[in-house]
Structures are given as structure tokens and as C-alpha cells.
Structure 1
Amino acid sequence: DAFLGASSLTFKNGTANDGLVGTCSSHLGMVIRDNYRMNHLDEVNQVFGLTSLFETSPVSVYRQHANRLKNASL
């Protein structure tokens, strides 16, 4: 996370980001929620599956989204 903290400084002042990707550039379709305390490495399971103990599991987020799409017949 120290690397992502340092790389987040390369974004314009006030631009929300996770250190690798700007928040708005990762929005696809209708956004339901975007205030998870996950960084890009958590989302793609980059660091041996380690995630924050105090945040929703990325797997749970993907499962909920898959269920929403299934229930919408998409």
C-alpha cells in the first residue's frame, strides 16, 4: 500500500484514485456504489489474496454484482 500511496501523488490534485486507476475511469454502466476501501490490487487479487480485514471481500462484491445481472436476465 505504500507504493500505491506514492503513485497516487501522480494524479491531479483532488482526483479520487486508488494509486493506479482514477475512480471515475473505472465506472462502467450505472454505478451503485464506489466507496469501498479497496485498491486496484485488492480488486484483481494481486497480492496473494490478501485484503483488508475491515472491508468487504472483493469476491463478495463480484458475486453480488453477478447475482444482480442474473436477476436482471443479463
Structure 2
Amino acid sequence: MLFFVGNLILSTFLDAYSIKLIPILATLFVFGRIGFGIGYLKEPMERAFGLGVTLYPTIAVLIYDAYRVLFFNS
């Protein structure tokens, strides 16, 4: 849910050239979830790669969104 909301807000800030970032982030998220699932099936402690690939870009997008809303709201 955070990924969806973060990318939805991010898409309002990006210009025509930078909007290419949204499909890249979506692909990264899907690969991360697949990695999480594979790691969980092998050993629950091996799901860290998938968690990191999905969590860190999502947090970065949310921080950027908050920055843009708070400081560039014009």
C-alpha cells in the first residue's frame, strides 16, 4: 500500500522525462517481492534481500514525497 501511494504522489511531481522512473520502481518492486517469496520458501531468514529491495526504494520515495510537499508546495 505504501508503494502504491508513494508512487502515485511521486507521479504528480515528475516531468515528462522523469516519469520513466515509475515503471522502473514498479519492476524493482515486483522482482523484490519475487525474491522475498523465494527466500521465504527456502528459509525465512533469507527473505532479507527481497525485503530490502522493496522497502528501501519505497521509503526513499516517501521521504522525497514528503520533502516536495513540505518545501516545494507552490
Range into which the TM-score falls when normalised by the shorter chain: 0.3 to 0.5
Q: What's the TM-score, normalizing by structure 2?
A: 0.34
Which of the pair has the greater relative contact order for Cα pairs under 8 Å at 6+ separation?
2
Give the helix-richer structure, 1 or 2.
2
Q: What's the TM-score, normalizing by structure 1?
A: 0.34
